[in-house]
Copies of this chain bind each other. A is one copy, B any other.
């Protein structure tokens, strides 16, 4: 049999694209043994040909024309690592429609249009693979689709943003405040100049949407995910968490409940002995609960040039094996259910509250009665710290529906004895 040569196009040559390009070369000696074929990056789409020239062995692979790639009948596989919704979305749609398998790391796009693009792939009997869109190098998409597929998955909880986990780890282990910890993350390249997407939980929210869609077989997009970031967390809250045997982590949650699917990202106080509590620095981890497998966790590097390239190339190898064996893509629709998405107000949690109040007799009783009138009972008064003429109260509530808590907070805000906007953190 003649040697099969698979030709691929790489869209983008930034950090992740360079990693993919390197990994293709690193794997070259073993590729035929692994795939039964060779794999060649025939074209690399870049914006600036000159700037990219130094990054590749042979600059003739570079092009700034997507059309040239689309028109090349030899290209059977497209690897998209440009990021952003457009033009990546158009390119992927055109690639799929013209019968190319597509591997992408694009979480923004998949969190918004993943289901639509998957269905387009299926119509064209090709695969759309996106392991790298969630948790970098950690295998999680493939296990959800395959190894764990005989489970009814009821919950996913994950630390899926390395930037915020690095910041919270610095705040926890070194007592740093949010600002300096963010600056350090920026200096080390863990946080971008505009850190909003990471710090406000948007990046994690996209990953939650993607995992929820696969786990619950229900369409979930980023717009469905409730997100809350870590910028209001102070070292006081971290100390309070420690008082009650907990650590604060930015947690993405996807949960199937009788009232529908809960998808949310927010800081959370989790027990210090919980497997996620020991996930430090820029590491990521995803915890999955299924009815048969019980608890299972996946841990590793959630970002970075080579870990992300590892995930992309795992998908590329899968697509290459499909091509080598003369097979077509999968035609099973991932979303055969259509569960409702639960509103944030209806979600139930325990809450930690911190607020600055007048330091005078009866204040705690007043606060407690406001909470009680709204159906919120106090489980634990964590700390009361006196300052000049005010006191800082930190307490933990029993399980309560979020809208009840919101009502209590509205009342607090209108009260003169309450001197600061209450800080609210969920407690697992």
Instruction: Other than A294-B307, A325-B328, give 16 A-B pairs with Cβ distance below 8 A.
Output: A26-B152, A34-B149, A34-B336, A35-B332, A139-B147, A142-B142, A146-B318, A147-B314, A149-B317, A150-B313, A150-B316, A275-B299, A290-B310, A294-B306, A296-B301, A325-B330
Give every chain B residue within 8 A of A301 (Cβ-Cβ): 293-296
Q: How many residues of A contact B (CB 8 A)?
A: 57
Most buried by B among A131, A292, A299: A292
A296 to B135, CA, bound (A): 11
Please provide the 10 A-B residue pairs with the shortest distance between their CB atoms, ordered closest to farther: A150-B313, A139-B147, A296-B300, A33-B336, A292-B310, A293-B310, A137-B293, A297-B299, A147-B314, A292-B306
Of the listed residues A131, A138, A139, A301, the one surrounded by the most CB atoms of chain B closer than 10 A to its CB is: A139
Using Cβ atoms and an 8 Å threshold, which residues of chain B touch A304? 294
A142-199 contacts to B, CB under 8 A, are 142-143, 146-152
Query: In the bound complex, what is the Cα–Cα distance between A151 and B139 (angstroms)?
Result: 13
Of the candidates B139, B293, B314, the one whose C-beta lies within 8 Å of that of A307 is B293
A146 near B33 with CB under 8 A, answer no
Chain B CB within 10 Å, residue with most, of A36, A309, A321, A332: A332
**Distance to closest chain B CB from A358 (angstroms):** 43
Which residue of chain B has its CB nearest to the CB of A217? B33
Set of chain B residues within 8 Å of A146, measured between Cβ atoms: 139, 142, 146, 314, 317-318
User: For the complex, what is the distance from the CA of A333 to the CA of B275, rounded to whole Å?
Assistant: 36
Across-interface contacts of A366 in B (CB, < 8 A): none
A58 contacts across to B, CB distance below 8 A: none
User: Chain A at the B interface: mostly helix, strand, loop or mixed?
Assistant: mixed
Indicate whether A291 reaches chain B with its CB closer than 8 angstroms: yes
In the docked arrangement, what's the CA distance between A138 and B297, Å? 8
A30: chain B residues at CB < 8 Å are 152, 217, 336
Q: How many Å from the CB of A297 to the closest CB on chain B?
A: 4
Closest chain B CB from A139 CB (angstroms): 3
Judge if A311 is at the interface, Cβ distance under 8 Å. yes
Contact A292 B307 (CB under 8 A): yes
Decide if B27 touches A150 in the complex (CB within 8 Å). Answer: yes
Bound state CA distance, A332 and B332, in angstroms? 25
CB pair B310 A138 closer than 8 Å? no
Q: Report yes or no: B296 in contact with A296, Cβ–Cβ below 8 A.
A: no
The reply on A331 being an interface residue by CB < 8 A is yes
Q: Across the two chains, which residue of chain B brings its CB closest to A274?
A: B278
User: Which of A152, A313, A314 has the most B CB atoms < 10 Å from its CB?
Assistant: A314
A196-234 vs B, CB cutoff 8 Å, 1 = contact: the mask equals: 000000000000000000000100000000000000000
Question: What are 12 sample pairs from A and B whose C-beta atoms fall under 8 A apart?
Answer: A30-B336, A33-B217, A137-B293, A139-B147, A146-B318, A147-B314, A275-B278, A293-B310, A296-B299, A296-B301, A321-B332, A325-B330
Does A327 have its Cβ within 8 Å of any Cβ on chain B? yes
> Is A347 interfacial (CB 8 A cutoff)?
no
Q: With A and B bound together, what is the CA distance between A142 and B318 in angstroms?
A: 12
| A291–B334 CA distance with the chains assembled, in angstroms | 32
Q: Is A23 interfacial (CB 8 A cutoff)?
A: yes
Q: Which of A19, A142, A294, A331 has its CB near the most chain B CB atoms (within 10 A)?
A: A294
Contact A131 B147 (CB under 8 A): yes
Instruction: Flag if A26 contacts B292 (CB, 8 Å).
Output: yes
Q: Which residues of chain B have C-beta atoms less than 8 A from A217's C-beta?
A: 30, 33
- A279-299 with Cβ < 8 A to chain B: 290-299
Taking CB atoms, residues of chain B closer than 8 Å to A336 are 30, 33-34
